[in-house]
């Protein structure tokens, strides 16, 4: 939900008669968090269409921002950049926006921009160069929480959907890859992300549940085919799943780059996965998708806005007093299957 903030000194920094010409956004975060910033980045360009928007992002994960029409320049963040820019002391940006930053990135922003908008950073110096945007009184959806930073500076957008651009070359590569592996196109082609990243394993749905779900889908849609995505951490489970359904599984775990995986997801009829980076990518691509969410962070905080073919499967104990103790095996196969079946039927696939 959009919130209004008292601008105070902000209206002295920003004036409608002098819109910023050069704007910097620093988005050095994980895959999903980077994608969740795209509505905020779009807002900057929509509000100041003549500005040059430069985005500094994680050197690898920032690739999810490549090709977006509202970003004029995309750079990778490196620690040496802070030193070099500090040595030059050139303030080439009128405004800088720091998303989920730290002291190092704030120092970098201070060196290169005339004014910085940022989340509060513990222990950071407070002066006229930086505006720390206050947190919301009540929890916000992730997209709105990032928009909070730019809204405080007067930027906004009516489009809340996540953004990702697949190039024509990437689309062609994905089609050829699927043709090479003889991926069936008669029935639904379904991408499954078995795991998130290792440090957040509490988000993962049990492997045995995924196996039961795949078996049920095949029973009702015999021509279905499954693309298993993920890194090397998912390899053992993907191998086991292929043993169970040898003619129905294409295992790409640990084999494809981030953008290659995304281009493959874009060719699918459905995506299923827990709350992790590829799930946000599927949301940005507007692929029909089923997201599986833990109790501590229910779907209302992570939902891909403006996505008509998104179905959330929330934990039955979402909103409980002790959500962190709620195991993911409390989310039943039946509940996920109901969401899957609904989307497949809406996409025009008829069960036997």
Kindly indicate the confidence band of residue 98, based on its pLDDT and cuts at 50, 70 and 90.
Answer: very high
**Does 225 lie in the same domain as 186?**
yes
Q: How confident is the model at residue 6 (pLDDT cuts 50, 70, 90)?
A: very low
Q: For the chain, what is the domain count? A: 2
Final residue in a domain of this structure, among 86, 117, 152: 152
Task: Examine the domain organization and report whether 142 and 232 are in the same domain.
Answer: no
Residue 3 has pLDDT above 50, yes or no: no
In a domain, 163, yes or no: no
Is 162 contained in some domain?
no
**Is 297 found in the same domain as 191?**
yes
200 and 277 within one domain: yes
What's the pLDDT score for residue 59?
87
Residue pLDDT, tens place only, 187-238: 999 999 999 866 566 889 999 999 999 999 999 999 999 999 999 999 999 9
Question: Is 199 among the domain residues?
Answer: yes
Could you tell me which residue, 337 or 59, shows the higher pLDDT? 337
- Mean pLDDT, to the nearest integer, of 167-183? 95
| Any domain includes 295 | yes
pTM: 0.90
Q: Decide which of 95, 125, 152 is a domain's last residue.
A: 152
Same-domain pairing of 31 and 57: yes
Residues 142 and 213 in one domain: no
- Looking at every residue in the chain, the average pLDDT score rounds to 90
CATH number at residue 254: 3.40.50.2000
Shared-domain flag, residues 135 and 188:
no
pLDDT number for residue 85? 60
How many Cβ atoms sit within 10 Å of the Cβ of residue 76? 14
Q: Phi first, then psi: give them for residue 77, nearest 5 degrees.
A: -85, 130
Q: Which residue has the higher pLDDT, 7 or 131?
A: 131
Residue 125 has a pLDDT of 75
- Please report whether residue 216 resides in a domain: yes
Average the pLDDT over each of 103-107, 175-179, 242-246, 308-312 and give the range with the smallest value.
103-107
Q: Residue 114: which domain range?
A: 10-152
Flag whether 72 is in a domain: yes
Among 152, 184, 215, give the residue marking a domain's end.
152
Instruction: Say what percent of the chain tops pLDDT 90.
Output: 75
Q: Is the pLDDT of residue 143 over 90?
A: yes
145/191 same-domain check = no
**Domain shared by 96 and 241, yes or no:** no
Confidence tier at 322 by pLDDT (50, 70, 90): confident
Residue 17: the pLDDT is 56
């Amino acid at each position: 939900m959009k919130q209004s903030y008292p601008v105070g000194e902000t209206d002295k920094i920003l004036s409608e008669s002098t819109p910023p010409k050069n704007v910097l956004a620093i988005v050095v975060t994980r895959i999903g968090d980077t994608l969740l910033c795209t509505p905020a980045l779009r807002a900057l360009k929509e509000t100041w269409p003549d500005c040059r928007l430069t985005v500094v992002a994680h050197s690898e994960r920032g690739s999810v921002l490549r090709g977006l029409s509202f970003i004029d320049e995309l750079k990778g963040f490196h620690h040496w950049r802070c030193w070099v820019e500090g040595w030059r002391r050139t303030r080439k940006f009128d405004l800088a926006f720091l998303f989920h930053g730290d002291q190092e990135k704030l120092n970098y922003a201070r060196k290169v921009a005339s004014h910085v908008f940022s989340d509060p950073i513990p222990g950071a110096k407070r002066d006229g160069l930086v505006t720390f945007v206050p947190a919301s009184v009540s929890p916000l959806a992730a997209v709105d929480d990032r928009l909070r930073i730019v809204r405080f500076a007067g930027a906004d957008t009516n489009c809340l959907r996540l953004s990702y651009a697949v190039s024509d070359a990437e689309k062609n590569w994905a089609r050829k890859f699927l043709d090479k592996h003889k991926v069936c196109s008669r029935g639904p082609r379904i991408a499954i992300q078995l795991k998130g990243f290792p440090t957040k394993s509490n988000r993962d749905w049990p492997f045995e549940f995924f196996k039961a779900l795949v078996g049920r889908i095949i029973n009702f849609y015999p021509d279905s085919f499954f693309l298993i995505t993920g890194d090397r951490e998912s390899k053992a489970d993907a191998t086991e799943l292929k043993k169970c359904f040898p003619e129905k599984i294409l295992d790409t775990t640990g084999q494809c780059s981030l953008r290659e995986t995304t281009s493959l997801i874009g060719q699918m009829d459905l995506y299923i996965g827990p709350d992790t980076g590829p799930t946000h990518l599927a949301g940005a691509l507007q692929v029909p998708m089923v997201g599986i969410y833990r109790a501590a962070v229910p779907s209302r905080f992570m939902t891909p806005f403006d996505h008509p073919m998104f179905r959330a499967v929330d934990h039955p104990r979402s909103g409980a007093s002790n959500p962190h103790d709620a195991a993911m095996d409390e989310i039943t196969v039946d509940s996920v299957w109901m969401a899957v079946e609904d989307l497949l039927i809406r996409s025009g696939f008829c069960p036997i």
